[in-house]
Chain A
Amino acid sequence: MTTKLADLPKAKHFELTAEMARAIEHEVAHYPDSKAASIEALKIVQKHHGYVPDGAYEPVAKLIGMSAAELFGVATFYSLIFKHPVGKHVIKLCDSLSCYLTGYEDVKKAFERKLGIGFGQTTKDNRFTLLPICCLGACDKGPVLMIDDDTHGNVTPDGVDKLLEKYA
């Protein structure tokens, strides 16, 4: 089966707002080469949209003097740049050794049971996305996870319900 070009999903219209452009230019000023702001620029887009829409690469790349292809190459390298829509809250569950030793697998099962999703998936109501993450540097409090920008330690399977309640 072949896919026709016309059948591929169209990149959604994306507008680089003046606010985003200003924030990106503020970052560019920290470096002798504007390309160095690429990751920060992607994060700024992500802050406004929740992820980086396909239509963002052209205008952002132009702003920082890079090709859209190179910027896309950067975006696909880094795990915290989302290329697809994610839920309102992103749960990043540490699966590195210290957390593995202190009960990560049971916590993961509790999330999967409660949310009905696995790693890389988003709940139907778009509230949560569940992702694995490398060691979060709080190994004395394992199992550790992050929800959005908050780090939570000593997480237990029984504590998962209560933890999720805080993120409406």
Chain B
Amino acid sequence: MSAETKPLTHNIRPDRPLGLKEFEAAGGFTALRKAIKEMTPQEVQQKVKDANLRGRGGAGFPTGVKWSLIPMGPDAGAKYMVCNADEMEPGTFKDRLLMEGDPHSLIEAMIVSGYAIQATTGYIFLRGEYTVAADRLSMAIVDARNKGFLGKNILGSGWSYDVHVHTGAGRYICGEETALINSLEGRRANPRYKPPFPQISGLWGRPTIVNNVETLYNVPHIVNRGSEWFKGLSKVKDGGTKLYGVSGRVKKPGCWELPFGTTVREILEEHAGGMQDGLKLKAWLPGGASTDFLTDQHLDLAMDFDTIAKAGSRMGTGLLTVVDDKQSMVSVVRNLEEFFSRESCGWCTPCRDGLPWSVRILMALEEGRGKPGDLEMLEQMTKWLGPGKTFCAHAPGAMEPLQSALKYFRSEFEAGIAKSKVAA
């Protein structure tokens, strides 16, 4: 394994991360020196833009484009670089792996990215449960401060910047970038209205970039090896490698760094070893609870944003959750909607009232006491709670597995409607 082919994972040591000296010997902090000493902030931005790096948090927005919306210049004032390390999307287990196994790289990435937008402070918004990552990142920040990579006038550039770890206290909604900003300001994590977008008015009303952990890990490597190298790692037009993973009842669940655009079949069969003996694949979520189900008809698709979108779902975080043939789809969807219902922040009515309602219907169907019209009501909800009807993407995300389960497995839902007394 080399930095050339596996940039994200080659420095990972899950049990004992590399110390500062080992990290530097493995090429650590070379991108930081190169960016600050040899490149202008705009050149770093341009390089990331040219690399076609798209956000790995789920939405797939081009990172370089996001950065280019930040006001630059000597009068720009306070600006913030925020790392979204609030990994809580069900079925997603990649950011923990990176931060626990290679904490120094995230600090280097936060410095290079902060330099690119000329941020004044960086915050890593880390979920409170990731206690091991919190300790290791805090130690890596101290290492970087001692080296003079954080603080005043970094490497004589005239640019001053520091990074802090901010740990959360639960609630899935904190992963939504404007809710995250409210939480970071010490408020309840209700999402904010957009526009203005955080790039213009974010943390404390200042220009702010929020990037996912995995997205940031790519940045130092793009600076080191260039945009063309980065694009060459991929099988599709989006650049780089991707942490793909599989959970559910497969033989070898896990997470692997593979070329962007690897097929679902390769991920499932070669890396995850296929289904456990006696089980068949029934459905799968491409990247988290808020993505539409796909089926065994979709295994030859490339796992990239555009291909999975064309098939009617979203790549999301890129970590698959596999549902086997022994599971009831009604129960699986009930589990998902219970999650979304509990995690609704309660700010807007469709989400706050609609999600618990969908859970009640799904429980009735699960127990065979559904009523005629229940399926139509669920279908109606996928519209009432869909895109454009709510303040943020929480409820529309919740509707994705529901609408696709109804589409592909309708008979299972129909079977939950109680037979009328006359018919019995």
Which residues in A have some Cβ–Cβ distance to B below 8 Å? 30-33, 35-40, 42-43, 64, 66, 73-74, 77-81, 92, 95-98, 100-102, 132-142, 146, 149, 151
**A102 and B95 in contact, given A80-B128, A137-B87 (Cβ under 8 angstroms):** no
Complex CA–CA separation, A40 to B247 (angstroms): 33
Q: Give, as a whole number of angstroms, the nearest-CB distance from A137 to chain B.
A: 4
Complex: chain A residue closest to B254, CB-CB:
A140
B101 at the interface (CB under 8 A from A): no
Q: Say whether A81 contacts B169, CB under 8 Å.
A: yes
**A97 and B90 in contact, given A79-B171, A139-B321 (Cβ under 8 angstroms):** yes
A selection of 25 A-B contacts at a CB cut-off of 8 Å is A30-B164, A30-B166, A32-B78, A36-B166, A39-B169, A39-B186, A66-B186, A74-B187, A77-B171, A78-B168, A79-B170, A97-B339, A98-B321, A101-B332, A102-B247, A132-B342, A133-B170, A135-B88, A135-B92, A137-B92, A137-B130, A139-B91, A139-B319, A142-B253, A151-B129
Chain A residues, CB < 8 A from B249? 101-102
Chain B residues, CB < 8 A from A74? 186-188
Q: Give, as a whole number of angstroms, the nearest-CB distance from A144 to chain B.
A: 9
Q: Give, as a whole number of angstroms, the nearest-CB distance from A109 to chain B.
A: 16
B93 at the interface (CB under 8 A from A): yes
Q: Say whether B92 contacts A73, CB under 8 Å.
A: no
Q: Say whether A140 contacts B255, CB under 8 Å.
A: yes
Q: Say whether A134 contacts B339, CB under 8 Å.
A: yes
Chain A residues, CB < 8 A from B164? 30
Q: Say whether B321 contacts A33, CB under 8 Å.
A: no
Q: From A38, A101, A142, name the one whose CB has the most chain B CB atoms within 10 angstroms.
A: A101
Given A74-B187, A98-B247, 5 extra CB contacts under 8 A? A43-B169, A78-B171, A134-B90, A134-B339, A135-B88
Interface string of B173-214 (1 = CB under 8 A from A): 000000000011111110000000000000010000000000
Q: Say whether B90 contacts A135, CB under 8 Å.
A: yes
Q: Say whether A139 contacts B253, CB under 8 Å.
A: yes
Complex: chain B residue closest to A78, CB-CB:
B169
Complex CA–CA separation, A74 to B190 (angstroms): 11
Chain B residues, CB < 8 A from A132? 342
Q: Give, as a whole number of angstroms, the nearest-CB distance from B345 to chain A.
A: 8
Which residues in B have some Cβ–Cβ distance to A below 8 Å? 78, 87-93, 95-96, 127-132, 164, 166-172, 183-189, 204, 245-249, 253-255, 285, 289, 319, 321-324, 327, 332, 335-336, 338-339, 342-343, 345
Q: Give, as a whole number of angstroms, the nearest-CB distance from A158 to chain B.
A: 18
Complex CA–CA separation, A134 to B184 (angstroms): 20
Q: Say whether B188 contacts A77, CB under 8 Å.
A: yes
Q: Say whether A32 contacts B321, CB under 8 Å.
A: no
Q: Say whether A39 contacts B168, CB under 8 Å.
A: yes
Q: Say whether A37 contacts B186, CB under 8 Å.
A: yes
* B78, B170, B319: the one within 8 Å of A78 (CB): B170
* A38, A96, A98, A142: the one within 8 Å of B186 (CB): A38
* A31, A136, A139, A142: the one within 8 Å of B129 (CB): A136
Complex CA–CA separation, A30 to B345 (angstroms): 27
Complex: chain B residue closest to A138, CB-CB:
B93
Complex CA–CA separation, A42 to B128 (angstroms): 13
Chain B residues, CB < 8 A from A79? 169-171
Q: From B95, B183, B285, name the one whose CB has the most chain A CB atoms within 10 angstroms.
A: B183
Complex CA–CA separation, A149 to B129 (angstroms): 7
Chain B residues, CB < 8 A from A33? 185-186, 204
Q: Give, as a whole number of angstroms, the nearest-CB distance from A120 to chain B.
A: 12
Q: Say whether B245 contacts A140, CB under 8 Å.
A: yes
* B169, B186, B321: the one within 8 Å of A97 (CB): B321
Q: Give, as a whole number of angstroms, the nearest-CB distance from B394 to chain A.
A: 13
Complex: chain A residue closest to B130, CB-CB:
A137
Q: Give, as a whole number of angstroms, the nearest-CB distance from A56 to chain B.
A: 15
Top-10 shortest CB links A-B: A79-B170, A139-B247, A38-B186, A78-B169, A96-B90, A140-B253, A98-B247, A80-B170, A35-B186, A80-B169
Chain A residues, CB < 8 A from B129? 80, 92, 133, 136-137, 146, 151
Chain B residues, CB < 8 A from A37? 186
Complex CA–CA separation, A151 to B169 (angstroms): 16
